[in-house]
Amino acid sequence: MNSRSTSGTRVIRVDGESRTESRDVLATEDPLEIRLEYGPGEDRLTRTVSVTMRTPGHDEELAAGFLFTEGVIEDPAAIREFQRPERALEQFVKVVLDENNVPRLHQAERNFYTTSSCGVCGKASIASIQTVCPFKPTIDSLKVSKQVVVSLPGTLREAQAIFEQTGGLHGCALFDIKGNLIAMREDVGRHNALDKLIGRMFQDGKLPAADLVLLLSGRASFELVQKASMAGIRIVAAVGAPSSLAVELAEEMDITLIGFLRGARFNIYSGAERIVN
């Protein structure tokens, strides 16, 4: 956990007729600028590709995961190094690419446009994801028992150290088919948490994660299913509800999508054959 992931604040606690002053712990929310340096020799360029509000910590994973899930880079070997600011007040991470690797910024721009307007573009958004996704759907024999599925939220909550302190963070995690926790990340932003998680797997050369199960602590939006698809994940479970376009994308990309995972109950919106008794 990063020491800047939480912040202290004064709070007045009200309980019936009583008021008491105490200290509370909050999840930190700070801006992070993601920069990209690329190009040959003296013609190298530096470009800001995103500014996001995130919980400090795992910033390099966030940058790498963002660039990968948005289709800008495909290979972790493309990244030469990460650069961070010398002054504490500056908050950015610069991803420096090898000279031989050209980022697919035009793909990202199209993807940004379609996903930001997904309420009206529908099938166009799904088509754009299919274009940039490096891992195409294949026939698989992946099966997960419903007993494992219902155990996942409890395991995630136990691993969420910052959530336990603040109650104010989204979490996501990858599990094997027996329910063992492989990796977990949390952040004030749902998308950031997943980018951090996928960024870690991407840097470790562990993608596609086709034999793992992704759990989301909130709802399953189109963008989150998109990121899962980019990582080659075949099963996505969410504690909350999926959106209509998330279900459409899951069906198109042959992803098992589970929603409303609470207690012993859940709904399967696509790919039900992968969940067994």
Per residue in 90-123, pLDDT tens? 799 999 999 989 898 875 554 443 343 334 345 5
Strands 275-276 and 144-145: parallel
Question: Any idea what DSSP says for residue 273?
Answer: G
Question: Could you give the percent of the chain with pLDDT greater than 90?
Answer: 66
Instruction: State the pLDDT at residue 168.
Output: 62
> How is residue 92 written in tokens?
């950015």
Q: Are 80 and 97 in contact (CB under 8 A)?
A: yes
Pairwise CA distance, residues 38 & 24, whole Å: 43
pTM for the whole structure: 0.86
- Of all helices (H) and strands (E), which one includes residue 262? strand 256-262
Question: SS3 for 164?
Answer: helix
Instruction: State the pLDDT at residue 271.
Output: 96
Pairwise CA distance, residues 105 & 218, whole Å: 30
Domain made up of 30-132: CATH architecture:
Roll (3.10)
Residue with tokens 């606690």: 13
CB neighbourhood size of 6 (10 A): 20
* Annotated domain spans of the chain: 30-132, 144-276
Look at residue 178 and tell me whether its pLDDT is greater than 70: yes
> How is residue 35 written in tokens?
């920069």
Instruction: State the pLDDT at residue 111.
Output: 47
Q: Are 69 and 230 in contact (CB under 8 A)?
A: yes
> How is residue 66 written in tokens?
């963002």
Instruction: Kindly report, residue by residue over 217-242, the tens digit of the pLDDT.
Output: 999 999 999 999 999 999 999 999 99
Question: SS3 for 236?
Answer: strand
Q: Are 232 and 211 in contact (CB under 8 A)?
A: no
Domain made up of 144-276: CATH architecture:
3-Layer(aba) Sandwich (3.40)
Pairwise CA distance, residues 261 & 154, whole Å: 11
Instruction: Kindly report, residue by residue over 132-168, the tens digit of the pLDDT.
Output: 788 877 778 999 999 999 999 999 988 876 555 555 6
Instruction: State the pLDDT at residue 200.
Output: 98
> How is residue 16 written in tokens?
């019936």
Active-site residues: which are they?
118
Question: SS3 for 16?
Answer: coil
Pairwise CA distance, residues 226 & 228, whole Å: 5
> How is residue 45 written in tokens?
């360029």
